[in-house]
């Protein structure tokens, strides 16, 4: 019987405490980030899909088509082609296709690159209805950015 009365008393007190807590939260400011209106700033190390780093002087990619990233990728997302142009010492890129549908953003490619040619983009608005939108031609993307 003592449990009966103490349950009622302690229980009512705990319920009232709970209501007071939510009432207090009711009058505090909201913490939501208004996403489409307030765009979050991605941190420096944010891992979006990869992109090519342009050479500071020429604006052309640093990549010399060594294939290290293609080999490092666990999911075969990267397919690139390179050839030696006339007059150049090194190979340069012909195409660099990223199949983002397979990518898991692990960063093995960026780590494997020894020529400072790859980095993560800060792209995060990636929704689309079309699968082809995720097969990204990074060379074209770089040209568009320039």
Partner 1 sequence: METSIWRPIIYLVGIMAFAGVNAAYLGWCERKGAGRIQRRPGPKEVGPAGLLQPLADGIKLMTKQLLVPQGVDGIIFRVAPVIAMIPAITSMVVIPFSGNIQARAMELSVLLLFALASLAMIAILLGGWASGNKYAIISSARAVSQNLAYEIPMLLTVIAIVMISGSMNLRDIAIDQQGGFWHWNIFRFENGHFLYMWVGFIIFFICSIAETNRAPFDMAEAESELVAGFMTEYSSMGFGLFMMGEYLNIVVGACLTATLFLGGWDCPFGQTPGVWWFLLKIYILIFTVIWVRWTFPRTQVYRLLNLSWKILIPFSLVNVLVTAAFIKVF
Partner 2 sequence: MTLPVELRHDETFVLNLGPQHPATHGVLRVKLTMDGEYIVHAEPVLGYIHRMHEKIAEAGSFPQFMPNTARMDYLHALAFNHGYALVVEKAAGIEVPERAEYIRVITVELNRIASHLLWWAAFLLDLGGFTPLLYAFDDREKVLDLLERITGSRLTYCYMRFGGVYNDIDDEFIAGTRDFIRRLRSRMPRLYHDLVTHNIILIKRITDIGFISAEQCRRYGATGPVARGSGIDFDVRKNEPYSVYPEFDFDVPVYHECDSMARYMVRVDEMEQSMRIIEQALDKLPDGPVQAKVPKNLKPEAGYYYSAVETARGSLGHRLVCDGGKNPYKLKLRSPTFSNLSLFGEVAEGMLLADALAFMGSLDLVIPEIDR
* Interface with partner 1 (CB under 8 A): 4, 8, 15, 18-19, 21-23, 25-32, 34
SS3 134: helix
Answer for the pair 101, 135: CB distance below 8 angstroms, yes or no: yes
Q: How far apart are CA 119 and CA 2, in angstroms?
A: 68
Footprint on this chain of partner 2 (rule: CB under 8 A)? 7, 10-12, 14-15, 17-18, 21-22, 25, 31, 43-47, 72, 74, 104-108, 111, 120
Selection from partner 1, partner 2, none that 23 binds (CB < 5 to 8 A by kind) is partner 1
Selection from partner 1, partner 2, none that 106 binds (CB < 5 to 8 A by kind) is partner 2
* H or E, element range at 79: strand 78-84
Nearer to partner 1, 7 or 94 (CB): 7
Selection from partner 2, partner 1, none that 114 binds (CB < 5 to 8 A by kind) is none
- Residue 96, Cβ density class (10 Å: 0-12 exposed, 13-18 middle, ≥19 buried): buried
Q: How far apart are CA 47 and CA 101, in angstroms?
A: 15
Nearer to partner 1, 25 or 132 (CB): 25
């Amino acid at each position: 019987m003592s449990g009966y009365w103490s349950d009622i008393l302690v229980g009512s007190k705990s319920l009232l405490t709970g209501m007071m807590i939510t009432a207090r939260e009711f009058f505090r400011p909201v913490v939501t980030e208004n996403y489409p209106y307030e765009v979050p700033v991605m941190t420096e190390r944010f891992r979006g899909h990869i992109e090519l780093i342009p050479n500071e002087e020429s604006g052309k990619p640093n990549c010399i088509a060594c294939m290290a990233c293609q080999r490092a990728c666990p999911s075969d997302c990267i397919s690139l082609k390179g050839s030696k142009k006339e007059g150049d010492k090194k190979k340069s890129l012909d195409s660099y296709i990223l199949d983002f549908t397979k990518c898991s953003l692990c960063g093995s490619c960026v780590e494997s690159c020894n020529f400072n040619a790859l980095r993560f983009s800060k792209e995060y608005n990636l929704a689309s209805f079309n699968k082809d939108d995720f097969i990204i031609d990074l060379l074209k993307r770089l040209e568009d950015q320039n």
